[in-house]
Amino acid sequence: MPSLKDLKNRIDSVKNTRKITKAMQMVAAAKLRRAQEAAEAARPYAERMDAVLGNLARSAAGSPTAPLLLRGTGRDDVHLLIVATAERGLCGGFNSSIVKLARIHAQKLLDAGKTVKILTIGKKGRDQLRRDWSKHFVGHVDMSEVKKLGYTNAHDVADDVLARFTAEEFDVATIFYSEFQSVMTQVPTALQLIPAKFDGAAADDTAPNYEYEPSEEEILADLLPRSVATQIFRALLENAASEQGARMSAMDNASRNASEMIDKLTIQYNRSRQAAITTELIEIIAGAEAL
């Protein structure tokens, strides 16, 4: 049975831990507000670009002069998986849920006889995948020095991906990230970047037909690389908001668990203290009766 001193030290230790988790929760809450605003502000732009490109792609579909980013290489053999996670932990299952989705997707591709290449963004994803999937790694993007996420960061990643595509290193590229819905809910998501793929809702069948100058193919050739960068930027922004939401939730749970542990240890401490006092009183009374 632990001594009173040991119990007191444990209570003080858990109280200090609770102070840290509460402080981290407050910091995450402040960062979440900014990250959520940035993610929500990027959604309309990305969705509108997706709609415009969807309509253009519908017009250019099947054309032999359509941009390579739209029609693809004509093969489905080599897949590049871009796994975007955080640089830090202590955010619940945020990183592991993205990695899990990427692993499932990669395993299905391997089972189908495809070649898998992995590009990681963020330390945690790389660390979790390194043990079993390191032979599939083709690159890593370090975001540890990035204080404020900007379009330039996404543009650099897009340039790397597009250069690999131009060099015929892969046929299909898919990015894995977590879409922010609320503090409690972040949804692991897989989005195909290359060849460009648009939702059925994006291509508006009721939209009027326009004659483009220059042609649809030329406009697509200019916009599709920007679309890749935009989608990567949106994924990184969604990840940033999801990370802070997950961290806020995780630190809140940790603080609650610490409070419960403090209550249990305090009860145990009080009982041990009462038992010690009772024992001392019995000894004193016994000694007095002996006299």
Alpha-carbon distance of 233 to 121, in angstroms, equals 12
Chain mean position to CA 247: 11
C-alpha closest to that of 45 among 239, 221, 223: 223
C-alpha closest to that of 218 among 56, 91, 43, 6: 56
* 54 neighbors 203 (Cβ within 8 angstroms): yes
Mapped onto helix, strand or coil, the DSSP state of residue 62 is: coil
Which residues are CB-neighbours of 174 under 8 A, at least 6 positions away?
79, 80, 81, 82, 105, 190, 191, 192, 193
Which residues are CB-neighbours of 251 under 8 A, at least 6 positions away?
21, 22, 24, 25, 28, 90
The yes-or-no answer on residue 83 being catalytic is no
Question: Alpha helices of the chain — where are they, by DSSP H?
Answer: 4-60, 68-71, 94-111, 123-133, 151-166, 216-290
Q: Which of 60, 91, 99, 154 is catalytic?
A: 91
Q: What is the DSSP letter of 135?
A: G
Cis amide bond preceding 195, omega within 30 = yes
Chain mean position to CA 225: 23
Cis amide bond preceding 214, omega within 30 = yes
Catalogue the active-site residues. Answer: 91
